[in-house]
Structures are given as structure tokens and as C-alpha cells.
């Protein structure tokens, strides 16, 4: 499913959730403004503004968390690779040699 012909919602991270939260935000803001003022056209304007603000707000929040998650994954992947490389060698950080072990070797 492509939104507006260019945004592939299924493959873009955070796109689906942003649109869903934006629609909920639009409904809440529009309905809240209508209940407060009883002005239909102005409430629709507020609903569109609520959609844009909520969607963009959640988009940036989700993308920030997604970037942090990818950085953590990369760090863990590098750590696991280093663990496999250095395991059992003298460069292994978990293998602390004390003075007695060095003299016996």
C-alpha cells in the first residue's frame, strides 16, 4: 500500500504507526474543538492541524528510538564479534591473569 503514490507504508519504519496516531489525534482535537465551540468548519481545520502535529511528533519520536535501537544492535554485534575473536587469547578482557597464574605459566 502506497500513500500518495510514494510513501510505502509497509516498508518504511514508523510510517504506519505515525499515520494511525495522527488519525487518532485528528479525531480527538477536532471533536474536542467542536464540543468546546460548536463550529464545524473551524473544528475541521483544527482536526487537520491535529493530524499533522500528532503524525510529525510521533514520526520524530519513533525514528529517534529506531535510530537508538539500531545503534545498540550495532554495538552488540561488534561486541559479539570481538568476543569470538579474542576468546581464550591473552587479549580476552574476561581472562584476568593474576601474578600467580603468570608465574606458573
- pTM of the prediction? 0.70
Residue 55 lies in a domain: yes
| Neighbour-count burial of 32, counting CB atoms closer than 10 A to its CB (0-12 exposed, 13-18 middle, 19+ buried) | middle
Residue 99 lies in a domain: no
Residue 98 lies in a domain: no
Write down the mean pLDDT value for the chain: 84
Dump pLDDT digits (tens) for 2-19. Answer: 666 666 777 788 888 999
Q: What is the mean pLDDT of residues 72-98?
A: 78
Q: What is the mean pLDDT of residues 73-81?
A: 90
Residue 90 lies in a domain: no
Residue 6 lies in a domain: no
Residue 100 lies in a domain: no
Q: What is the mean pLDDT of residues 65-87?
A: 88
Nearest to 47 by CA among 71, 64, 23, 66: 23
Q: What pLDDT score does 83 carry?
A: 78
Q: Is the pLDDT of residue 99 over 50?
A: no
Domain that holds residue 31: 14-83
Amino acid at each position: 500500500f502506497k500513500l500518495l503514490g510514494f510513501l510505502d507504508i509497509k516498508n518504511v519504519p514508523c510510517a504506519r504507526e505515525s499515520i494511525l496516531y495522527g488519525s487518532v489525534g485528528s479525531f480527538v482535537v477536532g471533536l474536542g474543538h467542536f464540543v468546546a465551540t460548536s463550529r464545524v468548519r473551524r473544528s475541521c481545520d483544527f482536526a487537520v492541524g491535529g493530524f499533522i502535529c500528532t503524525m510529525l511528533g510521533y514520526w520524530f519520536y519513533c525514528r529517534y528510538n529506531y535510530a537508538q535501537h539500531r545503534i545498540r544492535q550495532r554495538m552488540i554485534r561488534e561486541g559479539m564479534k570481538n568476543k569470538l575473536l579474542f576468546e581464550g587469547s591473552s587479549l580476552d578482557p574476561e581472562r584476568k591473569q593474576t601474578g600467580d597464574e603468570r608465574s606458573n605459566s
